[in-house]
Structure 1
Amino acid sequence: MPPRCPIVELRQYTLRPGQRDVLIDLFDREFVETQEAAGMTVLGQFRDLDDPDRFVWLRGFEDMPRRAEALESFYSGPIWRAHRDEANATMIDSDDVLLLRPASPAGGLPAPMGSRPAPGEQAAAPSSLVVATIWYGNAPFDAAFVEFFERRVRPVLAETGGEPLAYLRSEHSPNTFPALPVRTNEEVFVWFARFTGQNHFHDHLDRLQRSVRWHEDVLPPLAQRSARPSQRLRLAPTERSLLR
């Protein structure tokens, strides 16, 4: 079975101080269903717990040509034209974008656990935590690395309470919508895990730190492939995020 959303954007926005909830309110009200009506999937939107001025979100596409069609439809459409000045006023930078694809048929983002609340519905933000870990490689994350991840890395993550729910790698197709830049000339491998809350996540880190297999079987070969230190994003789903 093909993975859900074979093309995924991981988008990290740097916002003006105090503007994150302004953007989230606007985004969740105006930009979810309207983007999906244009042919893309809004997979999740999040508050970065380590940066109060960072908004992170994910959207998916069926393929690169349809990505171009969907983005052209949305960004030339009436909803974006009506609200773009308000949205852009919250932002310092919106160009930190990684273009990704599932690393294997089993690596795609899962189907949502339920439906998102309706626009305007009074709903509390989920208490769950989504963690994205970004590994930067000095060479492509090829099939051999994916096998290494599935056979040696994933089992250790699972037994320490951090079972990956998706794992993706760089998509190097030409950017089919150059009006929105993406980061190029980088090799990344990104895996996502979901935790019930901060205590669950901290327990996972503690167990991982004490894992002999992690230190002997995973970290040394991973260090050989690394171009620079990994990045970890602790992400709190917004009230209307599907991924939660």
Structure 2
Amino acid sequence: MKPTLNAMPKPAALASPIVELRQYTLKPGRRETLIEIFDTEFIESQEDAGMTIIGQFRDLDRPDMFVWMRGFDSMDARKDALGAFYDGPVWAAHRDAANATMIDSDDVLLLRPAWPDAGFDLSGPRRPTAPKGTSDRNWLPGLVEISIHHLRPGTGADFAGRFRAEMVVRIAQNGARLLGAFLTEPTANTFPRLPVRAGENVFVAVTAFHNADASHRLAVSPAWRALGQSMQAVSTKPAETLRLVPTARSLLR
């Protein structure tokens, strides 16, 4: 299925109850090939199967990484939607070309909103077209940063509450936008054909910046560093930070 001009996303509430954060390790030099296949063939076809394609990104620091997110209404809806897509004609037609770009596609976190309104608001963006064969490498949509905090068991709710109370305001004061905040979804994987990372207990924050300089200014500010260090006390290892540039057809930017 080809892209539709200004295709409307699903309502925001449908994008957020269950979210997959997927990080793919690709063969050297193959990222642009996968992005073209994905943005041309795998957006509308997945959404037709019952999911929301939230965002897809180039990793600024890892040239052979492709990062993307998709959302589902529930874990049961996830099972049905994934079955419909991966048993359907579009995946059958393009899976060999897509898989040929990949080394690993099993780095997947299954997430839920960290508080009631912490999910992604996709009610406003329109998805532009990207004609097949047209590169979007000169697209300048700003920077999306994903921070992954690995937490001790039983600390997720408290960590999310403190982040909401103390760090969200710092993000806004620095001209950035918190796009979403998530905790691990504890329900067992309902579609075992696609593995997810088991035994994880994470808090994930997704933030939009105008550019990399804005992200750096926040990261080095004394107040932000002090808050981060104090919150590290309940973490099992240092937080991961993904600095991402959305592709031209990403709703999240």
Q: Answer yes or no: same fold by TM over 0.5.
A: yes
Per-residue CA distance 1:20-61 (angstroms, 9 max, x = gap): 000000000000000000000000000000000000000000
Equivalence for 1:147 = 161
The change in CA–CA distance for 1:112 and 1:22 in structure 2 (over 3 A counts) is farther
Q: Secondary structure at the match of 1:84?
A: helix
CA contact (8 A) 2:144 2:209 kept: yes
Aligned residue-pair number? 239
| 2:139 paired with 1:125 | yes
Structure 2 vs 1, CA of residues 30 and 4 (structure 1 numbering), >3 Å: closer, same or farther?
Answer: closer
CA RMSD for the aligned pairs? 1.9
SS in 1 for 2:153: coil
| Structure 2 SS opposite 1:95 | strand
Superposed CA offset, 1:102-156 (max 9, x none): 0011210122542111241766523311000010001234433322111122222
- What is the distance in 1 between the residues matched to 2:232 and 2:213? 28
Find the residue that maps to 1:227 and give its secondary structure.
coil
Counterpart residue number, 2:112: 101
SS of equivalent residue, structure 2 residue 183: strand
Paired residues of 2:15 and 2:52 also in contact (CA < 8 A): no
Identity %: 47
Structure 1 position 16 matched with structure 2 position 30: no
Equivalent residues of 1:46, 1:241 under 8 A apart: yes
Alignment partners' CA distance in 2, 1:158 and 1:30: 36
Q: 1-side partners of 2:116 and 2:14: how far apart?
A: 6
Query: Quick check: 1:112–1:243 contact (8 Å CA) kept in 2?
Result: no
What is the TM-score when the length of structure 2 is the normalising length? Answer: 0.88
**1:238 aligns to 2:252 (yes or no):** no
Alpha-carbon separation, structure 2, partners of 1:39 and 1:205 = 37
Partner residue in 2 for 1:84? 95
Partner in structure 2 of residue 72 of structure 1: 83
Normalising by structure 1, report the TM-score.
0.91
Q: CA deviation at 1:220?
A: 4.6
Partner SS for 2:237:
strand
Distance change in 2, residues 1:2/1:118 (3 Å): closer
1-side partners of 2:203 and 2:168: how far apart?
13
Determine helix, strand or coil for the equivalent of 1:107. Answer: coil
Candidates 123, 136, 139, aligned match of 2:150: 136
1:28 is matched with which residue? 39
Letter in 2 for 1:110: D
